[in-house]
């Protein structure tokens, strides 16, 4: 290690007991929507100017429970975490799975009721960077790029929520699947679409069981509506798919 690298590590106030340093998380930070197109040196300087902290979690450790107060946004640096809804019956529904660079709490922390609406669990050994509400305001005030990115992130979250509400408004699994496939068709502008989610993630997004979703795909293939191979789906009869939605 050269002298400059050594000095950077020693001066980084987030060095962990394991010897890891913020320098090792630049890839995750670059993936984070909040820091999109922000120069790496500028970003590290901004983070050094706020009271951010890194917390490590073990596999299956709870990060936050539903109803806990949210005072910071979390940025996943390493590992995977799940956003879960736990019902009184004991049933657990995974709402979403986060990967390095993903964030949580960014909508809640600026609301009037700063309470987590779901439980957050570390599904593997993970490390999360927390930045407080006040520090987010400071960062947005000092760097317009971060302000723009943060506003885009919030806007995208609202659009995603609206999409989920639309999905919930459909009565049948067929309608939900058709809506999802047509959305991807409009985005990708081709009949041969590549699904951005795994079958498990798609089932969670639609709020259905994975086996039910797989059976529906087979039924739609048998009816000549679609063809598929792994995560690639070909829309064979677009008018018929649209008929289920209107």
Two tokens, residue 138: 């400071």
Instruction: Please give the torsion angle defined by the CA atoms of residues 42, 48, 53 and 57, in that order, rounded to the nearest 10 degrees.
Output: 50
DSSP H or E run through 90: none
Q: What is the pLDDT of residues 211-222, one digit of tens each?
A: 999 999 999 999
End-to-end CA distance of the chain: 63
Dig out the tokens for 18 from the structure.
Answer: 């394991």
Burial class (CB in 10 A: 0-12, 13-18, 19+), 128: buried
What local confidence, expressed as pLDDT, does residue 18 receive? 39
pTM confidence score = 0.69
Residue 32's pLDDT is: 94
- Give residue 173's pLDDT: 93
pLDDT tens readout for residues 163-190: 777 777 788 999 999 999 998 999 999 9
State the pLDDT at residue 204: 80
Distance CA 172, CA 184 (A): 19
Cα separation, 236 vs 192, in Å, equals 9
Parts of the chain with a pLDDT under 50: 1-11, 16-19
Q: What would the pLDDT profile of 41-57 be if each residue is shown by its tens digit?
A: 888 888 888 888 899 99
Q: What's the confidence (pLDDT) of residue 103?
A: 95
- Angle at CA 187, nearest 5°, toward 183 and 190? 95
- pLDDT confidence of residue 20: 52
Q: What is the dihedral of CA 84, 170, 183, 33, to 10 degrees?
A: -30
Give the helix/strand (H/E) hosting 155.
helix 144-169
For position 145, what pLDDT does the model report? Answer: 95
Query: Given this model, what pLDDT does residue 21 score?
Result: 57
Q: What is the phi-psi region of residue 101: left when phi exceeds 0, alpha when psi lies from -120 to 50, beta otherwise?
A: left
Task: State residue 96's pLDDT score.
Answer: 82
Domains of the chain: 3-164 (2.60.120.10), 170-243 (1.10.10.10)
């Amino acid at each position: 290690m050269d002298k400059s690298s050594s000095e950077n590590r020693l001066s980084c106030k987030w060095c962990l007991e394991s010897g890891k340093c913020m320098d090792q998380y630049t890839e995750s930070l670059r993936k984070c929507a909040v820091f999109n197109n922000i120069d790496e040196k500028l970003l590290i300087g901004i983070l050094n100017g706020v009271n951010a902290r890194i917390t490590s979690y073990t596999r299956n450790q709870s990060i936050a429970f539903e109803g806990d107060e949210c005072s910071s946004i979390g940025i996943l640096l390493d590992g995977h975490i799940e956003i879960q809804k736990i019902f009184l019956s004991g049933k657990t529904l995974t709402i979403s799975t986060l990967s390095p660079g993903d964030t949580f709490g960014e909508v809640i922390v600026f609301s009037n009721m700063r309470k987590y609406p779901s439980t957050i669990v570390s599904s593997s050994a993970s490390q999360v960077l927390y930045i407080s509400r006040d520090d987010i305001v400071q960062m947005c005030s000092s760097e317009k790029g971060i302000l723009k990115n943060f506003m885009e992130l919030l806007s995208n979250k609202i659009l995603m929520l609206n999409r989920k509400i639309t999905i919930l408004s459909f009565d049948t699994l067929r309608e939900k699947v058709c809506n999802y496939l047509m959305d991807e068709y409009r985005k990708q502008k081709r009949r041969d679409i590549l699904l951005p989610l795994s079958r498990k993630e798609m089932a969670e997004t639609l709020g259905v069981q994975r086996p039910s979703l797989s059976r529906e795909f087979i039924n739609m293939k048998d009816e000549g509506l679609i063809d598929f191979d792994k995560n690639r789906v070909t829309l064979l009869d677009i008018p018929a798919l649209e008929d289920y939605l209107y």
